[in-house]
Amino acid sequence: MKKIFITGPIGCGKSTLIKNVLGDNLNYAGGFITKRVIEHDKLIGFDIVSLGLGKDNKHVRFLTFKEGKTVKNNEAFSIFASNLLKDATTKPFAVIDEIGGFEILIPEFMEAFNLFLKSQVPCVGVLKSLPSAEKLLKTTNLHPDFLKATKQFHLNLLSDSDIKIIEINNYKDKNALNILKKWKEKYIEHGEIQ
């Protein structure tokens, strides 16, 4: 499978598993990662972070937690993440960490994501689980159609023969680790990155 998405409960180590397997190869990836933003030991938001070599990695806040409210920044996905996905089609491989949140309701982002999926670029990523999407709906002011869209999004990914979805409960999952190592060997070590 050229494109692999890891799913599972919040905090089980999906991103950690990918980072551990890819290591320094992340410097050559297209796509993006999401990063928790902590200030004074308190989670204040989430950023989208571009990948690649150097210290030029750009951060754009897509969720901010302020005074008991959650503030979404749609442009983080409609512009920034969409451009990163378009650029990822020119890279040897991509990382998408993560997908399945409110961005699936943003047409510009979904157009870029679907175009990326049609590319021949190998990809590993994190897919927000359906229970996690339900929690997101409860903590944000998302449109009620979000869960319906999320279920359809999962079905679309599952029906794509070029995509494998692996469910894990922790980042030491041996099956997922073996699949990712084989993917890395095939598409990175024996691919364009030597």
The residues spanned by each domain of the chain are 3-33+85-192
How remote is the C-alpha of 182 from its chain's centroid?
Answer: 20
Question: For 60-89, what is the mean pLDDT?
Answer: 93
pLDDT at 134: 80
Distance CA 163, CA 36 (A): 27
> Residue 95 pLDDT > 90, yes or no?
yes
Q: CB within 8 A of 90, min separation 6: which ones? A: 30
Q: Token pair for residue 107?
A: 């047409």
- 191 three-state secondary structure: helix
Q: Report pLDDT digits (tens) over 141-193.
A: 777 788 899 999 999 999 999 999 999 998 889 999 999 999 999 999 876 55
AA identity, residue 194: Q
Please name the fold of domain 3-33+85-192.
Answer: Rossmann fold (3.40.50)
Distance CA 131, CA 136 (A): 9
Contact present, 116 and 90 (Cβ < 8 Å):
no
Furthest CA-CA distance within the chain? 50
Q: Report pLDDT digits (tens) over 19-65.
A: 999 999 998 999 999 999 999 999 999 999 999 766 578 999 999 98
